[in-house]
Structure 1
Amino acid sequence: MAFKDVMTLAAGVPASRRQFLIGAGTALAGMTLGAPALAQSKELAIISNIGNAGQREVLQRIASDYEKASGVKVTINNMDHEAHKTAIRSYLVVGAPDICFWFSGNRMKAFVKRDLFDDISDLFERENYKSVLGPATGAVTVDGKQYGLPLGGLLWGMFYRKDVFAEKGWTAPKTIDELLVLGEQAKSSGMIPVSMGTKEMWPAAGWFDHMNLRINGLEKHIALMDGKMSYTDPAMLPVFDKWAELINAGLFSPNHTSFGWEQAAAALAQKKAAMMDLGGFIKYGFPEDQIGQIGFAPFPQIVPGMARYEDFALNSVHVPKNAKNKENARDFLAYFYKPENLAAFLETESAVPPRNDCPPSKDPLVNAAVESLKTVEGSAQYYDRDTDPDMAQEGLKGFQEFMAKPDRRDQILERLEGTRKRIFKA
């Protein structure tokens, strides 16, 4: 929101905060608060898990601007990304900051269920965030309530080289049948149809997500992720049957278990493959002077009429339930989440903004993802973010195995179902 509703909000708050909120959408320089004593008695503690140095600088700049305007002292504690994963489990219980960075989806739900993240639905309502977030709202929603703000995301889809497609006269496939046709054309040109490296296993899970979302839709996909649906449910069979058809048609890289996504992306960059299913970070597999040749298209339709759902993996920012300054935390988040501030924060890592009203990015892949998101009906996160971590580990192993040995489908699904029953006590 561009603070168009700020006057309505300001009418019901004290003068000092009213003046700050009205000024939040304007230049901060020279702004004077009506009653600074109250604001200056407040402090705001933030813990971040941001590893990108440029992003840390932008966050500090935003915090400094907010501090000057509001009189609230802002302290940011930057933690190592991996160390933070352990620390957050302790500090949310004892010594919670006022704001912390984390992940949305299932990883957020784990803390919501333990009553460790504050319900900020009031902030969503106040700032009318749902009108600009669209499907991204679901990433921070549990039982109809919002517990965080979605940050930069990765929209998964099919990537290709524009120059290769132009030279060959190919068009990005809109349906799975068109993908099979393109696969034959690619093989005739001596190319791998879809580059795939599953050494780290998770790329296979990304393909599973797309197949399941295209065949069963978002509701059933999330039911599976939440452990409420069986891996041996009849609805799963069409997913793996169609996937096996693609594998047996030679659509994917041979020996894909022996190399990772970087090598698979390099094959696309080197014109050895036609397409690849990944997030926008695929560009790191390309020479810098060739990034402009990367094209993006949604994953092909499989079931006619099925609404378009996508994997849009989002980080997030939260107010801990045990925070001391929840009101100031909400005011800071409203300022931080202004379109221009959020865009500047995300630009340094070429992340896709969840808001549809952010200024255009300098990265054309980000802008392509933003446009594509406008036609998405709903979004999942990504397999290992949407389900229990132990379930995810077994799922990743199973999907990698299936891509190498599709004839093991039944054994793999039975094994995953056993894991589901144990973890979710189904």
Structure 2
Amino acid sequence: MMHPLNFQTRRNVLKSMAGVGAAAIAGGLGAPALAATRELTIIGNDGNPTAREVFKKITDDFAAATGVNVSLNYMDIEGHKTAIRNYLVASPPDVCFWYSGERMRYFVERGLFEDLTDLYEKNGYGKVVGNQIRAVTVQGKQYGLPLGGRLLANFYLEDVFAKHGLKVPKDWDELLAYVESAKSAGLAPIAVGSKELWPVAGIFDSLNLRTNGLDFHMSLMDGKVSYLDKAVVSVFDRWEELVRKGAYLKDSTSYTYSEAAAFLSRGEAGFMTIGSFVDREIPDEQRKNLNYFLFPKIADIPTFDDFFVDSMHMPAKAKNKEVAREFLTYFYQPQVFALYSNARNFIPARSDLPPSQNEMLNRQLKTIAGVAGTAQYFDRDTNPDLAQVAMKGFQEFLTYPDRKQAILERIEQTRQRVFK
């Protein structure tokens, strides 16, 4: 059994910030400005209350140091996905939170995110931001600051597995055997909540990466491969086998990811294919039992997995770009950024931060280093219009696998339209 996780409480996270603001100010921002009031507007999408408090403290320290009047506003995650399309055009903030990869590229190609390469060159970010820099780079230029990444894996409770004699599956046959064992024990073998659509996309990614590999997966994400291709159909054939065996939580469309995670925490489900943020859905007394494993092997190919990166950006139409650059520089200092990264339980973007107090997070760093390559996540890697249609199809497939052909044809029609 792994060692118990050493999670910081909200009070300890905030307490650890004492003095950091002053130290960061001494690092170069100087005394508060006495000139005309300067403004900075930030829109966030973080649902983690601890991270919100930490970030608010960071913006307050920045305001005190510079005299900038900071307006910080939050939107819920799903609402923000729609709102950002409008506010980047009509009424952009100076800084906003978003996702890297294709989600970022979509706005870069429409001229809606500012080129931040100058910040990388001035502050040497390229030397301390590892592979996550690729997630915010388009044609050699950087359009955001990576905030940190999360691993997609299969999370389970060790005590639940031990109680029911369940074994971590290593390959496809073992996965099918696990499904039968979990069902015999009265468990839902795999918890999934597809009410929000995105959770089920991670299952498709895992199946496709294990079956066809990273190059094929990214070609599919880039619209270069038909969803009627026999290699894609083979992924759905395997997926259908799991669905028909009753591998997934019944009525998954009724549950959000958080509600589905409750089945995991109550010991009513075996594991959940989800990001490492699921740890905050597990009660404190159970976290010591939380563990994970990568998706079982299918084809005889190297291991590829999803590792998705959140990021911070400056809208191209921001009114206060100079102040925004000043804030981004302040925020990305290691002693300031580490506080936010720890609060989010991110695998940090900067390599010069001290080890996390979350031992599972440190273990995931080693896991990522050991895989042959990573994708982001389905709706971050492909066109957002296609992603929406495809994820609705994935959701439908979990309930109606007999509609497989019609679902694939619908996704393919969308691919042909959006990737003209």
With normalisation by structure 2, the TM-score equals: 0.80
Matched length:
398
SS of residue matched to 1:232: coil
Inter-partner Cα distance in structure 1 for 2:85 and 2:193: 33
Q: Measure how far apart 1:236 and its partner are.
A: 0.8
Alignment of 1:77 onto 2:71: yes
Q: Within 5 Å, which residues of 2 pair with 1:16-415?
A: 27-28=23-24, 43=38, 45-50=40-45, 54-63=50-59, 65-66=61-62, 72-81=66-75, 88-89=84-85, 92-93=88-89, 98-130=94-126, 132-167=128-163, 170-312=166-308, 314-323=309-318, 329-415=324-410
User: What stretches of structure 2 of length at least 5 have no aligned partner?
Assistant: 1-19
In 1, Cα distance between the equivalents of 2:24 and 2:365?
29
User: What secondary structure sits across from 1:242 in the alignment?
Assistant: helix
- Separation in structure 2 between the aligned mates of residue 32 and residue 229 of structure 1, nearest angstrom: 50
Counterpart-to-counterpart distance in 2, 1:194 and 1:175: 16
CA distance in 1, matches of 2:246, 2:84: 44
User: In the alignment, is the contact (CA less than 8 A) between 2:397 and 2:407 conserved in 1?
Assistant: yes
CA distance in 1, matches of 2:254, 2:50: 34
Name the CA distance, whole Å, in 2 between partners of 1:325 and 1:92: 14
The 3-state SS of whatever aligns with 1:271 is: coil
Letter in 1 for 2:406: Q
Q: Distance in 2 between matches of 1:284 and 1:137?
A: 27
| Alpha carbons of structure 1 residues 58 and 193: separation in structure 2 relative to 1, 3 Å | closer
CA contact under 8 A between 1:133 and 1:354: conserved in structure 2? yes
The residue identity in structure 1 corresponding to 2:413 is: G
1:136 shift after superposition? 2.2
Instruction: Report the RMSD for the aligned CA atoms in angstroms.
Output: 3.5
CA contact (8 A) 1:296 1:368 kept: no
CA distance in 2, matches of 1:226, 1:423: 11
| Counterparts of 1:60 and 1:142, CA distance in 2 | 30
Change over 3 Å in CA distance of 1:118–1:207 after alignment to 2: same
Identity over aligned residues, as a percent? 45
Contact (CA 8 Å) 1:135, 1:378: kept in 2 or not? no
For 1:418, the equivalent position in structure 2 comes to: 413
Q: 1:55-94: CA deviations, max 9, x gaps? A: 344334434555666xx44332222415766665566457
Which has the greater radius of gyration? 1
Q: Distance in 2 between matches of 1:274 and 1:167?
A: 11
Distance 1:175 1:100, change over 3 A: same
Instruction: Measure the CA separation in 2 of the matches of 1:397 and 1:154.
Output: 23
1:46–1:97 contact (8 Å) kept in structure 2:
yes
Question: Counterpart of 2:354 in structure 1: which amino acid?
Answer: P
Deviation by residue 1:8-61 (Cα, 9 ceiling, x = unmatched): xxxxxxxxxxxxxxxx99934767889x89997895624222455543443344
Deviation digits for residues 134-172 of structure 1, max 9, x if unmatched? 442232122332210122443221011112334456543
Please tell me the residue identity of whatever aligns with 2:97.
F
Residue deviations 1:327-372, cap 9 Å, x none?
6644542432233322311333434433344334444443443343
Does the 8 Å CA contact 1:136/1:378 hold for their aligned counterparts? no
Tell me if structure 2 keeps the 8 A contact 1:215–1:306.
no
Q: Is the 8 A contact 1:42 1:325 kept in 2?
A: no
Structure 1 CA distance for aligned equivalents of residues 220 and 169 of structure 2: 28
Structure-1-length-normalised TM-score: 0.79
Distance 1:347 1:60 in 2: 15
Tell me if structure 1 keeps the 8 A contact 2:136–2:145: yes
- Preserved CA contact (<8 Å) 2:151 2:307: yes
Partner of 2:13: none
After superposition, the Cα gap between the structure-2 partners of 1:39 and 1:211, relative to the gap in structure 1 and judged at 3 Å, is farther
* Cα drift, residue 123 of structure 1: 3.1
